[in-house]
Structures are given as structure tokens and as C-alpha cells.
Chains A and B, each alone.
Chain A
Amino acid sequence: EAQVTQNPRYLITVTGKKLTVTCSQNMNHEYMSWYRQDPGLGLRQIYYSMNVEVTDKGDVPEGYKVSRKEKRNFPLILESPSPNQTSLYFCASRLTTVNTEAFFGQGTRLTVV
């Protein structure tokens, strides 16, 4: 089954404790991205990757890191989480950058206390 898999689904952590949210897709998609969803603000892009070893900042990259060492994986790293990073996070992938459907993971609800 074609899918984007994120882990964990839920995470509660403390301020400053490094964490990684994993994302994997099995569709051989080139383009992957991370979004955060906050009430009233919709989906805001954090980082995106057009292919292996190619990443760039989205609209809200501060406090986040990503890497794309393999085509299928695109982890999101929070080196020193803060309470304002409490949010619902989605990973998405697209076959190419040109007008193709984005497939989203199930989401990761992160709470930073």
C-alpha cells in the first residue's frame, strides 16, 4: 500500500530535550516536505527536499533541522524543543515538483512542556 509513515504519532517532551520525528515513504517520490498545523493558521511548510541531499527552508524553519540521506526517509529534528513548537506535524511526499498530488502522513502531535 502506498503510504507516508510518521513516527511517533504522539509525543510529550520537555523543553530542550532533542527529538526526532521520522518520516518514510514507499512511493519512490522525489519531493518531501514537513508542515506544522496550528489552529487558525492552516498548514505551514517547515522544510522541503527536492531529492537526496537537497533540502531548503520553508516558511517557518526556525528551531528545526532536516536531512535527506535516502530517498525514502526525511526525518525532522528538533535540537532544543521549546513550548512554541507544540503543534501537529505532517510529513508529505510528491512524485515530482510539478503539479502532482501530495500524500500526507497521519501526523505527529507534539507537546513540549
Chain B
Amino acid sequence: QQQVKQSPQSLIVQKGGISIINCAYENTAFDYFPWYQQFPGKGPALLIAIRPDVSEKKEGRFTISFNKSAKQFSLHIMDSQPGDSATYFCAASEGSTLGRLYFGRGTQLTVWP
């Protein structure tokens, strides 16, 4: 059973546009929701993360929106740039002793110049 569902699988956006990637989860015990960015030939790297006590977190052009009641969270990339072209993974974990991170299946973002 997939713990975190991510959509879309691929996304094409024009330079300067807004990229939006959505994720949904079922486990209400999850309390940490990071997004990872992966460039070709590299390992994933943390982009931004949020905890459920806030509804939004912004870092530069990247914003996480979190809807606890709907059990959904999303990544918004404002003013998308060709350098943002990468694969994005959402993830979730609970602060228990297991500490497992459950990843979505990823979204391949292409930003056209």
C-alpha cells in the first residue's frame, strides 16, 4: 500500500510559470513532510520541509502548502526556471522510533525556456 500518493507523474511548465505538485497521505500519525529534489545523476537532496502545525512554508520561490484536514500537501514553484528541471519527491514520516521516510513516486518537472 502506497503511503504517499504524488501527482502528476510529469509536468511541463514554461519559464516564469508556476509549477504545482500535489501529494496525499492517509496516516494521521505523519508529522514531518519534506520535499526532495533530484537532478540527473545525483542523489535526492532536501529542498524544503514542513510540520503539520503550520499551513504554509516559503523558502525563496518554493512554497509548501499543507492542508491537515484534507491530508494533502503541495509544492509550488513560483517563476519556474529551466534550472528547476528535476525530479521532485514528496515524503512523509512520523516521529517514532522507526523514523521511516515514505516517498511518493516522483514528478519529473521540465521547464521550457
Q: Is B104 within 8 A of A101, CB to CB?
A: no
Choice from A4, A41, A58, A106 contacting B105 with Cβ under 8 Å: A41
B9-37 vs A, CB cutoff 8 Å, 1 = contact: the mask equals: 10000000000000000000001101010
Complex interface residues of chain B between 66 and 113 (CB less than 8 A to chain A): 89, 93, 95-101, 103-106
Determine whether the beta carbon of B44 is less than 8 Å from that of A90.
yes
Q: Give the number of residues in B that approach A within 8 Å (Cβ atoms).
A: 27
Closest A residue to B103 by beta carbon equals A43
- Asked whether B43 is an interface residue with its Cβ less than 8 Å from the other chain, the reply is yes
A102, B101: Cβ atoms closer than 8 Å: yes
Instruction: Specify which chain A residues have a CB less than 8 angstroms from the CB of B103 in the assembled complex.
Output: 35, 42-44
List of B residues within 8 angstroms of A35 by Cβ: 103
Q: How far is the CB of A48 from chain B (nearest CB, A)?
A: 7
A81 on interface, CB distance cutoff 8 Å: no
User: Is B58 close to A, CB under 8 A?
Assistant: no
Contact A101 B34 (CB under 8 A): yes
Is there contact, CB below 8 Å, between A42 and B106? yes
**Chain A residues, Cβ within 8 Å of B46:** 101-102
Do the beta carbons of B44 and A58 come within 8 Å of each other?
no
Prevailing SS type, chain B contact patch: loop
The residue in A35, A58, A96, A97 that gathers the most chain B C-beta atoms within 10 A of its C-beta is A97
Interface size of A by CB at 8 A reads 26
- B61 part of interface (Cβ distance < 8 Å): no
| Main DSSP-derived SS at the A contact region | strand
User: If the complex has contacts A107-B42, A107-B43, are A42 and B101 also in contact, measured as CB distance less than 8 A?
Assistant: no
Q: Which listed residue (B43, B49, B100) contacts A58, Cβ 8 A? A: B100
Residues 19-61 of chain A, each 1 if its beta carbon lies under 8 Å from chain B, else 0: 0000000000001010100001111110010100000001000
> Which 7 A-B pairs rank lowest in CB-CB distance, beginning with the nearest?
A97-B99, A104-B43, A42-B105, A99-B32, A43-B103, A98-B95, A101-B46
Residues of chain A whose beta carbon lies under 8 Å from any beta carbon of chain B: 4, 31, 33, 35, 40-45, 48, 50, 58, 90, 92, 94, 96-99, 101-102, 104-107
Point out residues on B near A: beta carbons under 8 Å.
6, 9, 31-32, 34, 36, 41-46, 49, 51, 89, 93, 95-101, 103-106
